[in-house]
Structure 1
Amino acid sequence: MEASLWAMARPGAGRLTWGMTQNTRERGTTLVLGGTGKTGRRVAGRLTGLGLPVRVGSRSGEPPFDWQDEATWAPALEDVGAVYLAYAPDAGFPGASDTIGAFAARAAEAGVRRLVLLSGRGEEGARRSEQVVRDCGVEWTIVRAAFFSQNFSEDFLVEGVRGGVVAFPAGGVAEPFVDAEDIADVAVAALTGDGHAGELYEVTGPRLLTFAGAVAEIARAVGREVGYLPVSLEEFTAAMAGQGAPPEFTGPFSDLLADILDGRNASLCDGVRRALGREPRDFAEYARATAATGVWDA
């Protein structure tokens, strides 16, 4: 999921390993929606590093962009050739496909030639969002992502790591955690290169880990005890509410977790390899690099 109520994304950096097509700079500005989120910040940073014109789509952007205010869409789309479309809070939330479909149609009318959608693996609602992008009449690429590694460091699980206990309703289910750096690399390849139109890249990490296993990797990286506490979905939802999350968020988010944490995502996919020609980053590498930043210091 790209954004949550408590997401505190930090800028990321990554080295791009592909070549741009010669006419990339002639395609206009790239609008990065969710441009302050976990993947959006990384996508925008990579594009800027390539010397390409970028517009960050957010309420604090210039011009501002708000998914719930269609009057902000046209100014954000002016002179835009490609869009990275990360919907907040998640492409699988109720009503997301309607909003994304309306935006995609507006983007096509504005002359946008390429859309790259961030989608969620195993989410039924996200499939509807994917379909409206496919149907909008412009070049599209879908990046369907597994559970973000960065949810442990830039989102709702970070405080648990700092406090020494990560409470989450995943039981013993295994997940192929994907690094946001890899997601950003795939997205930028699709935004700037040829050969990605009409592709669905299902991106995962290189191995399956239980949440207990992931927390153990983090504990090794930080050099102190961090435990995993499996809780019920009801307990987790109540904890979110106790931290101030409104019902209009906690209800859909709990439903989404019930979907994706039932074991349906306990398999690996080759999206990173197909898009970039390399293997995805392992969770242990993510944990070591993140521990070095101090974000998990107690």
Structure 2
Amino acid sequence: MKILVIGASGKTGRPVVEALEARGVEVRAARRAPVPAGVLFDWADPGTWQEALRDVDALYVVGPYMYPDRPALVGDLLAAAPHARRVVLLSVLAADAAVGFVDARDVAEVAAAALTEDGHADRIHVLTGPEALTYAQVTRVLGEAAGRELQYTALDADEHVAGMRAAGLDERSVMWQQGLFQLIRDGHNAVVTDTVERVTGHPARSLDSYARENAATWRPAVPAER
């Protein structure tokens, strides 16, 4: 089995590659700037798709979120890969509300299972961590682990809409994003599931454990002595 991982150097793409390789699967790592072991893939240039999709049996797809005004891109990609028997599409929701933040390693392990095991066809796996947290709570957890005070400042709805329009998004995309974020703000994304444990056999990793493992990332840099 050969699996194409789009966005192989990203937050979930990299651990997906690692999880698949741990299963002994042949991985084709697709990046916009490929290294010798990877392949070039650019959502904006369909001319790069053919080589990336050649002879692959499955796809891990991180959606083209940098092109919200081109909603047909994912469909075009799938149409160009009729030979792919399995596809995992990562979608992400976020807003200033409680969210069941999930560790990228858990996302990768579930994706690897869906790409290599039976029983996942036509299913939507809703992945979360063990609890739903607001961005303010997340900031506090990270700050406590790092031993410093961190602050989260939310962007209100009007500022968010203005920013999208300033970025050149069409009104259809602006309205879609606005409605999506409102659903999340109303608490519809505060769900917590046991999907990670059911698929992988281990509980979802908590934000606390992630923060402790990576505390140095949020600590202030110490000036080098002269």
Q: Report if TM-score (shorter chain) is over 0.5.
A: yes
TM-score (norm: length of structure 1): 0.63
Q: State the distance in 1 between where 2:199 and 2:69 align.
A: 30
Instruction: Please show how residues 1-298 of structure 1 align to structure 2 within 5 Å.
Output: 27=1, 29-61=2-34, 62-89=38-65, 93-96=68-71, 98-108=72-82, 111-121=83-93, 147=94, 170=96, 173-235=97-159, 246-248=167-169, 252=174, 255=178, 257-291=181-215, 294-298=216-220
Give the Cα–Cα distance (whole angstroms) in 2 for the partners of residues 208 and 42 of structure 1: 23
Whole-angstrom CA distance in 2 between matches of 1:31 and 1:64: 11
**Whole-Å separation in 2 of the counterparts to 1:235 and 1:290:** 31
Distance in 2 of aligned mates of 1:238 and 1:202: 30
How far 1:104 sits from its partner (Å)? Answer: 0.8
Q: Is the 8 A contact 2:69 2:169 kept in 1?
A: no
Match of 1:22 in 2: none
Q: Give distance in 2, aligned partners of 1:177 and 1:290.
A: 16
Deviation at 1:233, TM superposition (A): 3.4
> Is the contact between residue 83 and residue 116 of structure 1 (CA under 8 Å) also seen in structure 2?
yes
User: Is the contact made by 1:218 and 1:287 (CA closer than 8 Å) also made in structure 2?
Assistant: yes
Specify whether residues 247 and 33 from structure 1 end up closer, same or farther in structure 2 by C-alpha distance, changes over 3 A only. Answer: same
Q: What's the offset of the Cα at 1:237?
A: 6.7
One-letter amino acid of the structure 2 residue matched with residue 281 of structure 1: R
Match of 2:223 in 1: none
AA of the residue aligned to 2:64: A
Percentage of pairs with the same residue: 39
**Given the two structures, how large is their TM-score scaled by the length of structure 2?**
0.81
Does structure 2 conserve the Cα–Cα contact (< 8 Å) formed by 1:273 and 1:279? yes
Is the Cα–Cα contact under 8 Å of residues 201 and 275 in structure 1 kept in the other structure? Answer: no
Contact 2:147 2:219 in 1 (8 A): no
Conserved? CA contact 1:205–1:268, under 8 Å? yes
Give yes or no for contact 2:143–2:218 (8 Å, CA) kept in 1: no
Specify the code of the residue in structure 1 equivalent to 2:202. R
CA deviation after TM superposition for structure 1 residue 186, in Å = 0.4
- 1:204-244 Cα shifts (integer Å, max 9, x gaps): 11112222221111111001111233342344677899xxx
Q: Which AA in structure 2 matches 1:289?
A: E
